[in-house]
Each structure stands twice: as structure tokens, then as C-alpha cells.
A and B are shown apart, each in its own frame.
Chain A
Amino acid sequence: MSAPILSTHGLTKRFGGLLASDYLDFDVITGEVHAVIGPNGAGKTTLINQLIGELVPDGGRIEFEGRDITTLPSYRRSLLGLSRSYQITSVFPDFTALENVSLAAQAHDGHSFGLWRPVSREERLARPARAALEEVGLSTKNHTYAAELAHGEHRQLELAMALVSRPKVLLLDEPMAGMGRLESESMIKLLASLKRRYTIVLVEHDMDVVFALADRISVLVYGKTIACGSPSAIRASIEVKRAYLGERYASG
């Protein structure tokens, strides 16, 4: 097996008395879809936040392509090839969909000290932006302001912004959050089309999607992986059942 492209070793994060990441070991192999599931509050988003650099861990190590990135600021990680989408939509409401994605492309296209040339006329940004919007199925809304898009379209825009830089690893935080059935179906098709073309870490609650797409699944409970393996292994795992059934009883 090749070395993992992204991995954490003993990752620890505390919020006051709460241990959100408990000496967490996690790794991602190039080309796989690695899903992360677990009950609410298990620390899934905290893991993503630490991987991308928005949160500084209290202990442990994060490695990307063999290099220690634990203290690297998020913009450097992005330039190295890590990209994320947000669970709660985090786009730029005053820009159009095209401008949003073009901005994402701008970050990876050299410096931004341009003072004179209108950025809207820069084809080298507009072209990949249009392509990304096409890929997620949002081309008809290129010139709509992000504030006016529907919720499902927001999720598509999130994905387009994460994709446009052709990242090495995509961190998707509940891409289907809050979507209705129809919107979910298109999103599932879209995610399926990304499989094999991108290395993906997928945090999701929808089990159908997870089991359909994932090559490996890690189950997170109280900041620790209690199981990690193929979908069939996870399905059969007793610890996982205990974690979920127990959770269901506890929440009444």
C-alpha cells in the first residue's frame, strides 16, 4: 500500500474541559473516498477544521505528502493542495456565482496585487470558474448573486469553489446538509462523478450516500476513531452498533 497522502497522529484538541479530538489517528490514501461518520458532537467538523488549519491542535501531528503541516497557516495548506467545503454555507453573498468561483481560482493564480486590469476580463480565471460551475450543474446561475441562490444551489456553489483549484485532497463537510430529496439526488450523482478523480474526505450523515460512495469509513465517537475499514466491515462491526444504538437510547 502506498503511503497516505494525508494523515494525523495523536491529534488532540480541547475546548475547556471538552476533549473534541482524543489522540486521533486518521489517514487518507490517494484516490480514495474516505468517509467520516459518527454521532453529533463526535468531533468530525473539528477534525476538518484542524486538517485545513482553521483550528490549531493542542497536540499531535498532521502530515500532508510526507510533510509536517501541523502549524502551517490555512492559506499555505490550500496552496499545497488541500481544499474544503463548509457544512454551513460560507460563500460571498455580494458576488455572483461566477465571481465566487473566479475568486477561488484567483487564489491559486499567482499574486493578487493587480491594481489596474478589471478582474472580470481575466479569462484565465473565468475559464476554470465556468468549467467548475458547469461541472456542479450551476451554469445557468453564473451571473446570479450568491445571496439570491436557493439552498441547494449554495451547496453546489460551495463544491465548485472547492473544486476549481484542482485540489489534491478535498475535505467535504456535509455537502448535502439541509438538502431536500430532489436536490440530494443531483448532489449524489455529482459526488459519484468526483470519485476516482479526486481524493476525498467526506463527512456525512446520510448513510445511503456514505455506503454507496465510500472506499473506507472511519467512525468517530467522542473524538476517537472506534472503527475504520471497508463499508461491509463497518456494517458488521459490533463497536459501531453499540456506539449508534447506545447514542439512540441516550438521546431518548
Chain B
Amino acid sequence: MLLFPEAVSLRSPRVIAAALFILLLALVPPISDAIGESYYVTLVTRILIFGLAAAGLNLVLGYGGLVSFGHALYLGIGAYTVGILSFHGVSNGWIHLVVTIVLSALVSLLTGLVCMRTSGIAFIMITLAFAQMFYFLGISLKQYGGDDGLNIAQRSDFGPLISIQTNTGLYYFAFGVVATTLYLSWRFVHARFGRLLRGTKSNVRRMRVLGFPVLRYQVVAYVISGCLCGVAGLLLGNFAKFASPAYMYWTVSGDLIVMVILGGISTIMGPLVGAAVYVILETVLSGYTQHWMVILGPIIVFIALMANRGLYGLFLAREAPGSRNSVS
């Protein structure tokens, strides 16, 4: 079928699981209404938002093999765009969106060009350092709240047709953005650019010798990835009605990496699955004790140890045992 970039068999357990998952997500608001627990809508909105950010990160991390420890920076850019523009009276959501994308693209282009001069360990650490630089920048913006953060009086106004002022409205908006992103990522991964990126992850030296100017594609992928995280940040700012430097703190970047790996690196559904498990895990653990991080820490070490393919990736392992790391 022309809509699908690869053969999709309706009998495959992976496809069924993915379809059910998406269906479940689509039905969260009415289900939540029916059982009278509006809390689930907000919980799953958080999952969608971080799922989007993780999906953005997955493009460069999972498919491109670039370990960026600084993607939380773009969450901050998105949230602060909404915050600062609203502060100055601009509440048009479309303007928020355009500015977020332009700023994210600019920052990721500049930091990407600098970071790509290195590789391996240096790359990881430099992305970390740059993200933290923006965290400090956020703190020092006294007129926009500094480390206390910036309240956002009202959510972005996307015009008469789309309203995110209610939790359900925001939910479906986020759902729409995530679903679209996942579909476009799916196409991307199977297209020329996606295959090139996967090639660089596995054998970058050969890619150059084959004739690919690898750097420019890596930078562009990095920019796309940054923009997706920026949009996630815009949703986050709207969700919490609050923009804070805390969104850019480096441990948030670490959380995003955990989500990608937990769900399944270089899979399309993986980041969303990972986000779901991680957010739920955090919620459950913090219910038991305020010191839940002392449990989460070792769990993350365990995930690093065991999760070779991730939870969603396990489906793929059963389907194509020959390939160690196939796609989608």
C-alpha cells in the first residue's frame, strides 16, 4: 500500500501491538471521562510530550548513532518561546510554533556544526556542556523569572478551529503532532536520508569512501531532531503553563536517552513506548517514597546492562532474527 514505506503484515504481533497502542492512546480522554479520573489525561499528555522529544532524539541517537546528551535544551527553547512571547502579549500559537522551529533550527545548526568537529566521547560531553550553558542562560534571565521560572497565563491560541485551552484539547493536539511525527519518521527512515543515516551509524568511514559527504547530512539530521524537541518543548510549556530552566537541566537529557533505549533504539514506536514506561515508572515509584530516585538510579543501570533491543525492539527480534538491528 502506497501509504506504507515498507510491507506491513496485519498478522504480525508487532503491528498489532503498535496499532492497539495507538488506538488506546486515541481513546484515553473518553475512557478517562467514563471512569471519572481526569488525571489520566494529564499523565498521558506528559507521555506524549516526552515521547515526541524522545522520537526527535532517536533520529540522531538511534538511527544516526550520535550520542547527544543535550537535547533537553530544545525543550527549554520551545517552552520559553511560548513563555516569553506570551509575556509580551503575543499569544498566537502559530507564531509560537514558527519561532520555536526557527530558534531550534538555529541553535541546533550552530551547536551541531561545532559539535560535529568531534566524535565519540568528546561529542557526548560537548553536547552536554552546551545544553548546560543554555540552562545557565535561562537562570540568568531575571526578567523572565530566572530560576523561579516563568508562568504562562494562557495557552497558545491556534485559532478558532484548534483549541488547546482544555486538557482534552491539548491532549488531542499533542496526539496529532506525535502521530504525524511518527508517520513522517517512518517514511524518513526508509527513504534515502534515513538509510544514509543508518549507514553512518554502522560504518561511517565506509560511507565517506563510498562518496557520501557525511557531515552535512549529520548536521541536517541534528537540526531536524532539535526542531522536533523544540516542538515538544512548546507543548510542554503549554501543558504546565510554565517555562523553567529546569526543563533544560542535563538530567532531563539523560531521561530522554533512557526513554529511547528502554523503548527500543532505532525503532519508530520505541521512543513512545519508552516514554510511557519511564513516566509511569517514575509516577509509581514517587508514590511509594520521596526518595524514589535511589531506586530509579540502579534501574537505569540495569536498563543499560540488559536492554539491547528495548521493549518494542523485542517484537522485532522475534520477527527478523537474522538482522541484529533492523528498522521500524
Name A's B-contacting residues (CB within 8 A). Answer: 52-54, 73-75, 78-79, 84, 86, 90-95, 99, 103-104, 106-108, 112-120, 122, 144-145, 147-148, 161, 165
Contacts and interface: CB of A to CB of B under 8 A. Distances in A.
Contacts of A92: 199, 202-203, 206
Given A92-B202, A119-B195, A107 B210 contact: yes
Interface stretch (B29-37, B239-247, B300-308, B318-326): B318-326
Contacts of B210: 75, 78, 103-104, 107, 161, 165
Given A52-B209, A73-B208, A113-B220, A106 B192 contact: yes
B142 interface: no
B292 to A, nearest CB: 37
Given A75-B211, A92-B199, A94-B324, A115 B191 contact: yes
A54 B5 CA distance: 35
A75 B198 CA distance: 17
Given A90-B206, A145-B323, A113 B211 contact: no
Chain A contact residues: over half helix, strand or loop, or mixed? loop
Contacts of A99: 195
Contact of A93 (B187, B193, B202, B212): B202
B211 A165 contact: yes
Interface of B: 5-6, 184, 187-188, 190-196, 198-199, 202-203, 205-214, 217, 220, 322-326
Contacts, number: 103
Contacts of A120: 6, 190
Nearest to B205: A54
Contacts of B193: 112-115
A93 B322 CA distance: 10
Contacts of A113: 192-193, 217, 220
Contacts of B192: 106, 112-114, 117, 119, 122
Given A94-B198, A95-B202, A118-B190, 11 more contacts: A54-B205, A73-B213, A75-B210, A90-B206, A92-B203, A95-B199, A103-B210, A108-B211, A112-B217, A114-B191, A147-B323
A54 B209 contact: yes
A223 B213 CA distance: 30
B209 A78 contact: yes
B319 to A, nearest CB: 13
Ranked nearest first, the 4 interchain pairs of A and B with the lowest CB-CB distance are A114-B192, A107-B211, A78-B211, A118-B5
Nearest to B196: A112
Max count, chain B CB within 10 A of own CB: residue among A93, A118, A119:
A118
A106 B196 contact: yes
A148 B324 CA distance: 10
B222 to A, nearest CB: 14
B181 to A, nearest CB: 13
B213 A75 contact: yes
B141 to A, nearest CB: 35
Contacts of B195: 99, 103, 106, 112, 119
A148 B322 CA distance: 7
Contacts of B5: 118
A92 B324 CA distance: 11
A120 B328 CA distance: 14
A92 B193 CA distance: 16
B208 A75 contact: yes
A52 B206 CA distance: 11
B209 A94 contact: no
Contacts of A108: 211
A129 to B, nearest CB: 13
Nearest to B212: A107
B41 to A, nearest CB: 33
15 contacts: A52-B209, A75-B210, A75-B213, A78-B208, A78-B209, A91-B206, A99-B195, A106-B192, A106-B195, A107-B210, A107-B212, A118-B190, A122-B192, A145-B323, A147-B322
B31 to A, nearest CB: 34
B325 A94 contact: yes
B191 A117 contact: yes
A118 B190 CA distance: 5
A117 B188 CA distance: 8
A54 B209 CA distance: 8
